[in-house]
Amino acid sequence: MTTWISVCNLSDIDPDTGVCALLNGEQVALFRWGNSDTVYAINNFDPFGKANVLSRGLIGSVGERPVVASPLYKQHFDLSTGECLEDTEKSIKVYPVRVEAGVVALGAA
Amino acid sequence: MSKKRIIVVGNGMVGHNFIDTLANAECASQFDIITFAEEARLAYDRVQLSKYFSGASAEDLALTTEADYQKQGIIYTLNEKVVAIDSHAKTVTTASGRVEGYDKLVLATGSFPFVPPIPGKDQDHCLVYRTIEDLEAISASAAVSKTGVVVGGGLLGLEAANALKQAGLETHVVEFAPRLMAVQLDEGGGKLLRRKIEELGVSVHTEKATTEIVAGEECRYRMNFADGSFLETDMILFSAGIRPQDELARQFGLDVGERGGIVINDYCQTSEADIYAIGECALWDNKIYGLVAPGYQMAKVAIEHIVSSLLTHEEPAASFQGADMSTKLKLLGVDVASIGDAHGHTAGSQSYVFNDDVEQVYKRLIVSADGKKLVGAVLVGDVEAYGTLLQLKLNDMDIPGNPANLILPVSDGSEPVGLGVSALPETAQICSCYDVSKGDIANAVQGGCCSMGDIKDATKASTGCGGCAALVKQVMDAELTALGVEVNNNLCEHFAFTRAELADIVRVKGYTTFSELLENHGSGHGCEICKPTIGSILASFNNEYVLKDELISLQDTNDIFLGNMQKDGTYSIVPRIAGGEITPEKLIVLGEVAKEYDLYTKITGGQRIDLFGAQLHQLPDIWKKLVDAGFETGHAYGKSLRTVKSCVGSTWCRYGVLDSVSMAIALENRYKGLRAPHKIKFAVSGCTRECAEAQGKDIGVIATENGWNLYVCGNGGMRPRHADLFATDLDDETLVKYIDRVLMFYVRTADRLQRTSVWMENLEGGLDYLKDVVINDKLGICDELEAGMTKVVDTYQCEWKTTIETPEKLKRFSHYINATDEDNNLLYVRERGQRRPATEQERIELVNLETAAD
């Protein structure tokens, strides 16, 4: 059974940008897709640059895939799967996320 | 079998070419290569010598380094002259008494400048122009001179005149013949060249025979001429031709020509079979070749002969059969070219002449009696046709169509007449410096080369004088097209346009948001390439607050938080210190802020102060303090104007001519905040000593006694480039006007992340075209460019001031959206009294320590 923990309002995230939320000691990068209420959640740690920065990357699309580019060295991570497009060995964790009544909540195991 | 000993006497361009080619040959391991250089340094590029006065150092001119020679196993001795040859014992003896044996001896002793026997020629400020030491002497002399004279109006003389002009002297050229460059140009060409050079401020005196040099009245010397006239000058440079350096050959029994030069056969052998001579010291068929390309050909021939006679005993494939002396060059900024028989001496030859006094272009074609073959050409002012004409001549091809079309100007809309590169035979020599044929370039493309850089690396084509660059590119492009390679300049998968095209779209349509552009001209959701690019274009033209709601998601790593992200995710802070001038009060504020937040502090190369290690949530607090103290953002995070570096200038410096600091501050305040395709750096120097290093900047300004000299499109960094002199003796207003135009034209037309240097190099027509656009308003857009810049200047805002005054924008400056904790991954150690990020190893140790302490 997933426990949903509210972390912020949807309006706290500017369209097409990211923020970082703290979830039980873990850093989670949240991205809002355009002006919509679609929000993606991946781990905030950049495995290449070894720093907690992914929430500060630019988001966009590669083909049909929604991605974030690391702000440090620009590797791409698939926002829905956490897969690293340049090196699948360096893929990262994704988190269940939902938006209800304008509130963004993360699923804790 | 023991190694064969090859001794090369002389380490000039040709001697070095011989050594380098042999050392890279497959059989290199079978040879010991020994060379003696009379000069204090290894080979350097004499062809580019005048660049020394536009800021190139001896290192920039060097063709190799001692480290390279050591790596290649070449035994070299500097400052060592060979003084004797014993062709029976096969040894040479040096000035210091060293005796070395050889299997083959190669004389590459070059030439020396001819100084006419004029009474008074040996005085202190009477100099020659050949070595870097000569240039140092010229430089020193120029520093204490106002006027300089070059004796000799040939190719080298005009190069030397350029050097004097760049050194800031009132420059004269004195020539014995009735025209300049009498060897290469006909009367019409010489006349136009003279006119152009005189317009650049160099006085030309022809048909002057100097009879003596005596003490002057106004200047240091007076030169008296045979016709009774005289000229006063502070220094004299002799550049009246070269003489082969054949002293050694002469003394030790080798055949030399009547007027000098070591006689060689088609294999470059002298009268002693084991002694070769190559380059300007060699006399082949009674001719001395004073250009570098024939010297390189001789080097190649000599190597083949040496290898075949010592190792393979096969018949050598190459022999020297004379060389084409066609030449294309820029003298004092004037394009000049000469091909083949420029004077029409060929029996029965006929001429076509095109002369445009208004545009100052002169072209003459000399064709064979039957009108089918090209035998020579002279081009002054417009040398576009050089590549085509040279190929027609070298390959003895039939002239396509009416020969006149080859030199007539192209009327609007029609294609220029020329022969396509496809018409050239595979064997056509494209690069004469390195003997690269069309076939060689085609092979390189087939082997995977697809840029000029690749081609240069693979074939060396266009790495000598560079005169063939346009042709090499045409051959490469034709070959790429033939292979079906499509050259794709699209910005990214979301926009099938170049940055310049997108800039035009934004400007013409007046877009203010990314979504309008994506919807109407793009596809997908955008990416980290197109978003910041378009963000930058929008900022260049509209200059709105970059963190505005519609714009914020376009900003890259640094811009989005108005700071420079460092490796650990913290930021550095660089307030603007215009012109590098700062009051003690403000300096103390920076110190106090740095101390309070424990920021690592370092002086930047742009005369500012960089404060490192600020966390996201600290940025607004820190900037509040800085803005309150009167600081503004320094835009160190943006692809935008960074700094205008300055020297202290005439206000304090004993040598300063103009107030460089005031100018630097004015320029920095004018252009601060201008978003561009890449960062832009300026500098202003208060005199030609150039302490601000302005020639290494995108925009460089140097004070002279007559106003400002403007340099453009230089940079440091990965591929340093000296800026080009763009305009001279400008007043403040014109200076600013030109800079406005150059920058706005750059903003409009450059590619993404293209510095001004590469942009300019890629402009068709290069520097001259840029001058045409900016100075002569060739495109009729200067008013628009200035208006664009005025808008940017008028709408400037300090982004940090706006941000700290906008509470909703401050929410994002926090590591967590749902907590006030700090990033727990940050770890620091102290070094030299300051904080820095821990290394991987230190992190492990620090974490272990903490765990142990728990």
Residue B227 within any structural domain of the chain: yes
Residues B14 and B161 in one domain: no
Taking the CA of residue A76 and the nearest CA in chain B, the distance in Å comes to: 10
Amino acid at B301: V
pLDDT at B402: 83
Range of the structural domain that residue B529 is part of: 499-556
Cα distances (Å, whole numbers) of residue A99 to A3, A59, A61, A90: 14, 19, 21, 28
Alpha helices in B200-346 (DSSP H): 247-251, 292-307
Give me the numbers of helices (H) and strands (E) for chain B, helices first please: 25, 38
Residues B528 and B652 in one domain: no
For A59, residues 6+ apart whose C-beta sits below 8 A from its C-beta are A16, A17, A18, A31, A33, A66, A67, A68, A69, A79, B525, B553
Residue B721 within any structural domain of the chain: yes
The nearest alpha carbon in chain B to A10 belongs to B817
Residues B650 and B787 in one domain: yes
Residue B413 within any structural domain of the chain: no
Residues B166 and B17 in one domain: no
pLDDT at B302: 95
pLDDT at B33: 96
- Per-residue tokens: B158: 């005009």
For residue B117, count CB atoms less than 10 angstroms from its CB and return exposed for 0-12, middle for 13-18, buried for 19 or more: exposed
Q: Which helix (H) or strand (E) holds A78?
A: strand A76-78
**How many angstroms separate the first and last alpha carbons of chain B?**
72
Residues B350/B341, Cβ–Cβ less than 8 Å:
no
Residues B253 and B211 in one domain: no
**DSSP strands (E only) in B249-294:** 262-264, 275-277, 282-284
The nearest alpha carbon in chain A to B560 belongs to A56
Residues B560/A69, Cβ–Cβ less than 8 Å:
no
**CB-CB under 8 Å, A27 with B817:** no
Question: In this structure, how many other beta carbons lie within 10 angstroms of the beta carbon of residue B649?
Answer: 25
Residue A36 contacts B where some CB pair is shorter than 8 Å? no
CB nearest to A17's CB, from B553, B568, B823:
B553
pLDDT at B407: 83
What secondary structure does DSSP assign to B396-446, as a single string? TPPPPS-GGGGTSPPPTTSPPP---GGGS-TT-EEETTTTEEHHHHHHHHH
Distance of alpha carbon B355 from its chain centroid, rounded?
31
Residues B262 and B180 in one domain: no
**How many angstroms separate the first and last alpha carbons of chain A?**
8
Question: In this structure, how many other beta carbons lie within 10 angstroms of the beta carbon of residue B91?
Answer: 16
Residue A62 contacts B where some CB pair is shorter than 8 Å? yes
Residues B34 and B98 in one domain: yes
Q: Which helix (H) or strand (E) holds B796?
A: none
Taking the CA of residue B547 and the nearest CA in chain A, the distance in Å comes to: 10
pLDDT at B51: 79
Residues B163 and B70 in one domain: no
Residues B537/B499, Cβ–Cβ less than 8 Å:
yes
Low-confidence ranges of chain A (pLDDT < 50): none
Residues B654 and B785 in one domain: yes
Q: Which of B768, B793, B818 is a domain's end point? A: B793
pLDDT at A61: 94
Residue B730 within any structural domain of the chain: yes
CA distance B481 to B472: 14
Residues A15/B553, Cβ–Cβ less than 8 Å:
yes
Q: Which residues of A touch B840 (CB under 8 A)?
A: 50
Cα distances (Å, whole numbers) of residue B69 to B11, B36, B75, B76, B189: 12, 13, 8, 8, 43
Residues B646 and B778 in one domain: yes
**CB-CB under 8 Å, A45 with B528:** no
The nearest alpha carbon in chain A to B556 belongs to A58
- Per-residue tokens: B235: 């220094």
pLDDT at B487: 62
Residues B157/B151, Cβ–Cβ less than 8 Å:
yes
Chain B residues 454-493 with CB within 8 Å of chain A: 493
CA distance B798 to B810: 15
Q: Which of B541, B556, B571 is a domain's end point? A: B556
Report helix, strand or coil for B733: helix
**DSSP strands (E only) in B146-206:** 147-151, 170-174, 203-205
CB nearest to A61's CB, from B527, B561, B569:
B527
Residue B327 within any structural domain of the chain: no
Residue B657 within any structural domain of the chain: yes
Cα distances (Å, whole numbers) of residue B63 to B11, B34, B714, B770: 10, 17, 22, 30
From the candidates B519, B556, B817, B844, which should be mutated to test the interface with A, based on the most A CB atoms within 10 A?
B817
CA distance B384 to B252: 48
The nearest alpha carbon in chain A to B568 belongs to A51
Residue B527 contacts A where some CB pair is shorter than 8 Å? yes
Residues B304 and B210 in one domain: no
Phi-psi region of B16 (alpha: psi -120 to 50; beta: other; left: phi over 0): alpha
Q: Which residues of B touch A26 (CB under 8 A)?
A: none
Question: In this structure, how many other beta carbons lie within 10 angstroms of the beta carbon of residue B67?
Answer: 8
From the candidates B557, B615, B806, which should be mutated to test the interface with A, based on the most A CB atoms within 10 A?
B557
Buried b (16+ CB within 10 A) or exposed e, B735-765: bbbbbbbbbbbbbbbbbbebbbbbbbeebee
Residue B200 contacts A where some CB pair is shorter than 8 Å? no
CA distance B566 to B679: 18
Taken in order B415, B420, B422, B423, the sign of the CA dihedral is positive
Residues B545 and B692 in one domain: no
Residue B630 within any structural domain of the chain: no
Q: Which residues of B touch A51 (CB under 8 A)?
A: 567-569, 825
User: Mean pLDDT for each 10-residue chunk of chain B (854 residues)?
Assistant: 90 95 91 94 86 81 92 93 94 94 96 91 93 90 94 89 88 92 89 91 92 93 93 94 92 92 96 95 92 91 93 84 84 87 89 89 92 92 85 85 80 48 78 84 86 82 74 82 73 91 93 94 93 96 94 94 96 97 97 97 96 96 97 96 96 95 97 96 95 96 94 87 93 97 96 89 85 93 95 96 94 93 93 94 79 60
- Largest pairwise CA distance in chain A: 37
pLDDT at B431: 84
The CATH number for B230's domain is: 3.50.50.60
Q: Which residue segments constitute the domains of chain A, with CATH numbers given?
A: 3-108 (2.102.10.10)
CA distance B578 to B632: 10
Number of domains in chain B: 4
pLDDT at B399: 85
- Per-residue tokens: A13: 């995230």
Q: Which residues of A touch B553 (CB under 8 A)?
A: 14-17, 58-59
For residue B487, count CB atoms less than 10 angstroms from its CB and return exposed for 0-12, middle for 13-18, buried for 19 or more: exposed
For B67, residues 6+ apart whose C-beta sits below 8 A from its C-beta are none
- Per-residue tokens: A93: 């964790």
Residue B841 contacts A where some CB pair is shorter than 8 Å? no
Q: Which of B214, B252, B251 is nearest to B233 (CA)?
A: B214
CA distance B306 to B317: 12
pLDDT at B411: 55
Q: Which of B312, B340, B369 is a domain's end point? A: B312
CA distance B520 to B526: 13
CB nearest to B825's CB, from A51, A59, A61:
A51
Residue B452 within any structural domain of the chain: no
